[in-house]
Structures are given as C-alpha cells and as structure tokens.
Structure 1
C-alpha cells in the first residue's frame, strides 16, 4: 500500500490523477476522456452503512429514468462542464456539495431542487451549468 497506483483505464501506466467524480486513478487526458464516456459518481462510503439494512449487496445506484430523452446531456456537454474551471471552483464550496448530495439522495429530488433554487449561490451555480451546456 502507499505505492504508486496503476491507471484503472488502460491498466498499463502509473496513475498521476484521480477522477474528480469517482476517484478512479488514471494516467492521462486520453484515459480520462475514455473513462468519462460512461457516467460515474462519487463513491458513497458513508451511506454504505445505512444501505446495508436494505439487503445483501444491494446496488446503491438508482436506475436512470428519463421522461424526456432530449434532456439527457451529450458527451460534449459533459466534457464542457468537466473542463469549466468556474464550475469546478464552485463545486469546491462545501455548501454547494451538500446541496447537490442532498438533492441526489432525496426521495423527492424535484422538491429539494426547488428549495435549493431559493439560494442565490445555488441558482447562480445552476445558471453557470445551463450556460455551459447551452452556449
């Protein structure tokens, strides 16, 4: 342990970076882009204890249910978000992180999103996202 980790994408090179979303180690921009072809998310270690009562090895990911497929972001839009320093800097704010996690883990995410939109900081953050994906 503690030694250099191997890239989890190409399994050939030593990783120099970690995915900001899911912490998977990768070695280069090429491997990062290949990794990002499939959406990933932050590991939920703190929630694992709560989920254990749901049954053995229950999946923590909720199934993707899309009412309007046209609302799903394309890879190019996701890359634009990932490469936006303004959005990445905003995501360093612990209050924004907590709001996003609370909405993602909510039993009524639409209600919690509406409530979060009352915050000027969160509303500015979502405006940045919208202007990045729909320039």
Structure 2
C-alpha cells in the first residue's frame, strides 16, 4: 500500500493537503511550517493569472462521462449561500477532507453518505445543479 508522506517533515503519512498548492502535510505543526515558508503563495500581481488558469482548467476535462458537470454549472455552486453556510460546518469540512485524501474513495463515499450533514450537502449541490438545467 502506497502512503503519501508529509512534504514538510517527510516522516509521517500525510492526512491533509494545502488548499493553495495541494502539498501533502501531516499535522498542524507541519501546516504552520509550510505557511511560514511561503512556498505556495503567489505574488499579488500573479493572482489574476492563477484565477484565469483555474478557470481554464475547469473548462478542460481529460475524461468525460454522462455525469460530468459543465464548468458553468460548477461555478453556480460557489454562488450558493446555502452551500456556503453548510461549508462552515467543521464536521462537514472533515468529511470532505477525508474524501479528498482517502485511497479508497468508493468506501469513503459510502461512509460519508451515512452522515446527515453530508447528505444535506449533496442534496444542496444537486438542487443548485438541477435549477441550472
């Protein structure tokens, strides 16, 4: 089984990812060291370039399925006040972090679907996407 090592201490298994650069880290201590190192922050003048690159990345998919959500609909999720409120919930944040880092996403998703807050989150996402159709 492959383990993803912490990019900071290189000793522990990484449980988290930096939201900016996606570097794996294992703890709050390593997260603080990573942030202090400023290795993932862009200069102010490059923030627009980064936003444009992220938008371009949304417009290109490497694999399409019947369930692929179009980028314009994905942008609607970010504009939903209900979804933003839900994402303030620390328990939901932990569930989403676990889903993002789990090596067995199918099993992790089955576990997440047992959590009422995750079901509410999924339903709000579907409602937003369905209303855009």
Bucket of the pairwise TM-score, normalised by the shorter protein:
0.5 to 0.7
Q: Could you say what secondary structure the match of 1:78 adopts? A: helix
After TM superposition, the score normalised by the length of structure 2 is 0.55
1:4-19 to structure 2, matched below 5 A, reads 5-10=44-49
TM-score, structure 1 normalization: 0.55
Aligned residues: 88
The answer on 1:91 being equivalent to 2:87 is yes
Change (3 A) 1:84 1:37: farther
Per the alignment, do residues 112 and 74 of structure 1 end up closer, same or farther by CA in structure 2, a change over 3 Å counting?
Answer: same
Cα offset, 1:117, TM superposition: 1.0
TM-align CA RMSD: 2.7
Moved over 3 A (4+): none
Unaligned runs of 5+ in 1: 11-23, 40-63
> Which ranges of structure 2 fall in alignment gaps of 5 or more residues?
1-37
Query: Higher relative contact order by CA 8 Å / sep ≥ 6: 1 or 2?
Result: 2
